[in-house]
Structures are given as C-alpha cells and as structure tokens.
A and B are shown apart, each in its own frame.
Chain A
Amino acid sequence: MTSYRFERQQLVSIFILLAGLAWVWVSRIPTDSGSLQPIVAPQESFLAPDFNLTTLSGENFSLSEFRGSPVIINFWASWCPPCRAEMPAFQQVFAEYEDLGLIIAAVNATNQDSLSEASAFASDNNLTFPIPLDKTGSASRSYNLYSLPTTVFIDNQGIIRKIIIGGPIPTALIRVQADKLFQDEP
C-alpha cells in the first residue's frame, strides 16, 4: 500500500512538471509575431515614454531625440526639499559624465510649481543641464508621477533601467546607476 502511494506521488509530480513545461511553451512570446516590440510604459525594462517640452532657456527638448545616449530624467519642483537637496549631486555627476555622453534632464513639474522660483533655484545652483518645463503636467502623467522627486535612468536604447521614487539620492547612487547605463551599452 505504501509502495503504491509512493509511486502515485511520483507520477503526480511528473505530471505537474510536464504540465509546467507545456505551460512554459504555450505562454511563450513568439519572436515572429511582432509582440516583442518594446512596450512603452514607465516601468523598469520597458521603453521610456517620449515627451516634448520647452526648456527653461527656451529650447525644445524631445526625449526621443536623445536615443543612442544614456539619459537621466529627474522630476522636481522648487518647493520640494529633497529635490533641492539632491540637485547639486546631479550637477556634480553631470560634470563628470557629460563628456562621455550622459544626458541629464531635470524636468520641472511647472504645473505645480512657480516658474520664477524654479528659475531662481536653477540660477543659484548653476545648473548647466537642460531643465524642461512640464507646464501642463503631460510628462508627469505619462510617467505616472506619484511623488517628487522621481528619477528615471534610461539606457541608450530608450529602455528604463531604474526608477527611484523619493530622495535625496546620494551622489554614490547616481554614479553607480550612470555607470550601469554605460556598461549596458551593446
């Protein structure tokens, strides 16, 4: 009797494993169906949503134009203490990695900020990277912005590699993530 139960247990296990393998095969994503096209979503491993904004200096900033370069997007507002605290770290890393081709864009959530105060903050801190102004909140919405600051690390293929919600982010962490963006280059 014991022997029978033991064999039955083994058979059930084999059946489960075979069914599991069948499910792995059935639920695969066929490479020829076009479904492997990157999905646009504000999530790690997916294609970063594009946006087109005007910067503080009056130039156009379109994320898709920077495909081919690693990009760090930092959403911020001048009234947000952690945003203010971490901005010098971004400036420091930008100075170190600019020559390597790293793009940093500090997207100001202008729809919930004062443009004059944002401008004064950028000037006081000698920020040299582009500061796109999200006046309507469209970029914030496409990135499902829940909290400020939020920082998105995007590789040269436009794929989001890391999202960090909250801050201030230590300089060491920005450096590590920037290095990873360059290491991931094909």
Chain B
Amino acid sequence: MFPIINLGPLSMPASGLILLLGFWLGSLLAERKSKLFKVNPNLVEKVLWACLLSGLIGARLAYIARHPSAFQENFLSVFSLNPNLLDPIGGLLISAAVGFVYISHQRISLWVFLDSLTPFFAVMAIALSFSNFASGTGFGTSTTLPWGISLWGDLRHPVQIYYFLGGLVTLFIILIRKQINEHQSGFSFLLFVSLTSGFRLFFSGFQETASLVGGGLRIPQLIFWTILAISLSLLNKHKLPLQMVKPYESQG
C-alpha cells in the first residue's frame, strides 16, 4: 500500500493520481481505437472531457444538496479541494446525463459510441483496481496459497491484484478485436461489461467483506451477478439497435 506519494514538500493521494493517469491513458487509447467504429477521435476527446468536468462539478453539487446544513456556516467549504466532499453516485449520474445529451446532438448511435469508449472503460477499470491497491481499500480472506500476502496478522488473498490482472485480460480481449460487425453495435461494450462483472463476481469471493445478506451471501457478488446476467442477456439478443452513423468528417 502507498496511499500517499511524497514529492518533496508535496503530499499527494496516490489513488487520485492513478485515476487521473488512467483517464489520460484511457482517453488516448479510446481516441486511437475510435476509427474502428467510425467515430471521430476529436468527438471522443470532447465527450470525455465534458463528462469529467460535469462529473466533478455535479459530484460537488450533489454533495451540497445532500448535506446543505453542513455548509450553512462554512460556505467557503463549497470550494474546498478536498475530494471527500464529492458525491460519486451523483457525479456519475450527472456525467452520464451530460455525455448522453452530447452524443444525442451528434446523431450517433449510443451503442456505437459506447463501443468506441470501451478501451477507456477498460483502462479505467484497471486504474481503479490499482488505485484501490495503492490506498489499501479492501483486502482478501485468509489463505494458505503461496502468493498470499501478510496483512493484519494473517496471510491473505491479494484481491486487488486479482482485479488488476482481470482488468488486464479484459483490456487485452477488447483490443484484439480488430473489426466490428455493423449488426453488433454495442458488442464491445457489452463484452467489456460481461468480462468485468464476471471477473469481479469470481474474485470478490476472495475478498473480506462486511456487506452480507441472508445466509452470509456477499452483496457485491449478487450485484455483479445481476450485471453479468443483464449484459449476457443483451449480448444474446445479438442484434442491438443500430442507427446510421454520421459521416466521419462531420462529427464533433
């Protein structure tokens, strides 16, 4: 674990830096691969930045909306750089809404655009695992396996490393797909969702958790199973809604 990176007098949270690096690498990769899906790389860049900025502002606004009384006597806290004053779910929803509206105005199929963003999502999933590893979020159950790591007085599964490796395999599979069939728009994205939820469903069985439901079932596993079921069901429909893609040059 290395939650803080010290550079001279500066102390920076490693998890935030890793996520930023993931955003940068993921957007570069998505821009490069977007041509396969006949999507303008400039549009990919614009949408990602619009989503990032609206997500950050939206996350702060959502946090304030949820806890207005906390800011009444300390209004300047509204402008605090502290990332703990962000509401991730609110930010994600606002970011997705902004992205959806932006794409809608470009008359591009949502599925095709999600396909072009899939490399970005895959890199961000890897960055998230590595970020959690750096911050020490989550740890594994006890194990006698030789690769167990010593933590809290016991040998434990290195679950964040498992997630990280699962993310690498997912990214590899996504990237080796060279061409898309126009009748399978959305395939890359759904494949990513299926692989990611499948890996998470499997590996979270080795994670120590306090989130349990009747009979000791792990809540995260049930959530990943549900996501996997939905994505596999959509993949099995085979033909997903496809709209005509605007001419490449006129996008963005």
Contacts and interface: CB of A to CB of B under 8 A. Distances in A.
Given A23-B205, A38-B210, A170-B82, A43 B139 contact: yes
B84 A173 contact: yes
A97 to B, nearest CB: 12
Interface string B124-160: 0000000000001111000000000000100000000
A21 interface: yes
Interface stretch (A5-13, A102-110, A128-136): A5-13
Q: What's the interface size class on B, roughly?
A: 35 or more
Interface string B67-89: 10111011001001010110000
A24 B225 contact: yes
Contacts of B152: 39-41
A13 B221 contact: no
A91 to B, nearest CB: 14
A21 B225 CA distance: 7
A4 interface: no
Given A46-B210, A166-B11, A146 B1 contact: yes
A102 B58 CA distance: 31
B108 interface: no
B17 interface: no
Contacts of A165: 3-4, 13
B238 A6 contact: yes
Contacts of B11: 147, 166
A13 B1 CA distance: 37
B202 interface: yes
A interface secondary structure, majority = mixed
A88 B221 CA distance: 43
Given A6-B238, A16-B198, A146-B3, A170 B74 contact: yes
Interface stretch (A25-33, A54-62, A67-75, A115-123): A25-33
A164 B13 CA distance: 11
A17 B212 CA distance: 20
A45 B136 CA distance: 13
Given A28-B216, A29-B218, A171-B73, A147 B137 contact: no
Given A170-B85, A172-B85, A25 B70 contact: no
Interface of B: 1-4, 6, 11, 13, 67, 69-71, 73-74, 77, 80, 82, 84-85, 136-139, 152, 198, 201-202, 205-206, 208-212, 215-218, 221-222, 225, 228-229, 232-233, 235-236, 238
